């Protein structure tokens, strides 16, 4: 495979990761962290870029990919867990939400007051999903569409906004606020963790492997190598973009306060470029949201067409597109209420599975270690998920809040370590290899 093809596949992976949330988090972090910006951003990149890269590395190292990762616990767990991850992060969350955000940031700033917003959203989302459907359906051309065309335009647009912002914004950095006053690095670390991009990484690996295979690469080692090269390219671009738009946010802090990163970016674009700036920001959001929708749609198509015998890639992509279109127009708020708790539950399990995969060869009884660790992690992840759903679990929540890192939403860490320790303790010993019959031991 040519080096340029590897670069474009890396571009494609970057564009799939870089959705609406990735555009909004860094500038808001910059505005709040102020003089502690570099510490906060270092923590943010460690988890927002580092965790997804680790997930892709884990998937690349395992023959059988994401399904095999879950099979190490149990095949039934794998089937249920992967279905929950793909559905909750795809058609029931990120896909309809990105379409809605693209409409809000790309169309609404220019819409007349007399416009019927519901009708406009219906027409816009119909066109949006039609183009996304066509792009995802032609997976042999996804690298060309997203890697060679869309991503360069997206990157150039971001560079223009950031460079003009660097030149025109002269605001001094403020004192840290919003939790960044003490421990800015750890606060940034938690914000990066909360992007949940590790879940997206779990789904995108299958798309990148398919793209590499389209270039004629079939051998397992080569596939792994190209997947890792694409991941490094995507991770480097993500880090550079995060630092750039985060710094713009830090320089804009004095003009606040701002309620969100989207509001801050809208203010920056208007301040430094006027109406063309608003149009440029709309283009950035539209392209970022579009590529994420295409990536998730294709990932769901690849996965479910592989695990459901009679489901074709086209049939799954069609179903995912129709669900995304429907939810982006009616019922997104309600579906978010259901899907977010599933994501909150699945996220710690993903991190634990990936972490265990790097030590897999050292386990005497892998299924025991995976099982106890996932069980202990799952209990506390489920408590967080049910709490997010709105259930009052009383004493369970009180106990959970006593655990280390609970205030950061990482109460599962200590239970996971306890589960791993129990699994290792009760794994038993490896049976010694039997001696050949003709070998005498003196």
Give the closest residue to 349 by CA, choosing from 387, 386, 379. Answer: 379
For residue 215, what pLDDT is reported?
Answer: 84
User: Which pLDDT value is given to residue 432?
Assistant: 43
Distance CA(248)–CA(353), nearest Å, equals: 36
Q: How far apart are the first and last CA of the chain?
A: 57
What integer pLDDT is reported at residue 435 of this predicted model? 44
Tokens of 422: 């129990």
Burial class (CB in 10 A: 0-12, 13-18, 19+), 427: middle
**Could you tell me which CATH class the domain 3-334 is placed in?**
mainly alpha
Angle at 178 between CA 173 and CA 181, to 5 degrees: 65
Tens digits of residue pLDDT in 362-414: 999 999 999 999 999 999 999 988 998 888 888 999 999 999 988 878 899 99
Q: Which residues contact 119 (CB under 8 A, 6 or more apart)?
A: none
Domain ranges of the chain: 3-334, 359-428
**Could you give the C-alpha distances from 193 to 157, 189, 238, in angstroms and in order?**
27, 6, 15
pLDDT at 205: 85
What pTM does this model have? Answer: 0.89
Contact 181, 297 (CB under 8 A): no
Peptide bond into 257 cis (omega under 30): yes
Question: Which residues 6+ apart lie within 8 Å of 122 measured at CB?
Answer: 329
The residue among 320, 394, 393, 381 whose CA lies nearest residue 353 is 381
The pLDDT of residue 431 is: 42
Q: Which residues of the chain carry a pLDDT beneath 70?
A: 331-332, 334, 428-442
Report how far residue 219's alpha carbon sits from residue 229's, in angstroms, rounded to the nearest whole number.
Answer: 16
């Amino acid at each position: 495979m040519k080096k340029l093809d590897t670069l474009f596949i890396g571009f494609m992976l970057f564009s799939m990761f870089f959705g609406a949330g990735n555009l909004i988090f860094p500038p808001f972090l910059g505005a709040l962290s102020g003089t502690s910006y570099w510490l906060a951003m270092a923590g943010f990149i460690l988890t927002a870029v580092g965790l997804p890269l680790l997930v892709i590395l884990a998937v690349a190292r395992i023959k059988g990919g994401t399904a095999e990762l879950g099979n190490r616990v149990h095949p039934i767990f794998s089937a249920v867990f992967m279905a929950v991850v793909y559905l909750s992060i795809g058609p029931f969350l990120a896909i309809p939400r990105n379409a809605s955000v693209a409409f809000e940031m790309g169309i609404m700033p220019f819409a007349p007051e007399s416009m019927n917003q519901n009708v406009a959203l219906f027409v816009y989302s119909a066109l949006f999903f039609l183009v996304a459907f066509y792009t995802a359906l032609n997976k042999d051309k996804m690298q060309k569409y997203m890697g060679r065309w869309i991503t360069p335009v997206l990157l150039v647009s971001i560079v223009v906004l950031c460079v003009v912002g660097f030149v025109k914004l002269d605001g001094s950095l403020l004192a840290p606020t919003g939790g960044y006053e003490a421990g800015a690095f750890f606060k940034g670390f938690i914000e990066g963790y909360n992007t949940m991009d590790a879940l997206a990484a779990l789904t995108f690996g299958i798309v990148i492997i398919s793209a590499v295979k389209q270039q004629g690469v079939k051998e397992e080692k080569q596939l792994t190598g190209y997947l890792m090269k694409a991941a490094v390219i995507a991770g480097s671009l993500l880090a550079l973009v995060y630092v750039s738009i985060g710094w713009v946010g830090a320089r804009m802090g004095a003009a606040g306060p701002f309620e969100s990163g989207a509001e801050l970016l809208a203010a920056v674009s208007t301040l430094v470029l006027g109406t063309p700036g608003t149009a440029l920001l709309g283009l950035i959001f539209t392209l970022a949201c579009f590529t994420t929708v295409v990536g998730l749609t294709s990932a769901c198509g690849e996965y479910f067409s592989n695990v459901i015998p009679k489901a074709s890639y086209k049939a799954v992509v069609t179903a995912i597109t129709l669900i995304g279109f429907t939810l982006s127009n009616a019922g997104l708020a309600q579906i978010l209420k259901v899907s977010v708790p599933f994501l909150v539950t699945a996220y710690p399990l993903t991190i634990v599975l990936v972490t265990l995969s790097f030590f897999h060869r050292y386990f005497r009884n892998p299924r025991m270690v995976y099982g106890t660790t996932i069980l202990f992690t799952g209990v506390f992840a489920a408590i967080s998920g049910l709490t997010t759903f709105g259930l009052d679990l009383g004493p369970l929540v009180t106990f959970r809040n006593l655990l280390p890192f609970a205030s950061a939403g990482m109460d599962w860490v200590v239970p996971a370590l306890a589960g791993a320790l129990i699994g290792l303790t009760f794994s038993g010993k490896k049976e010694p290899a039997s001696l050949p019959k003709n070998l005498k031991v003196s």
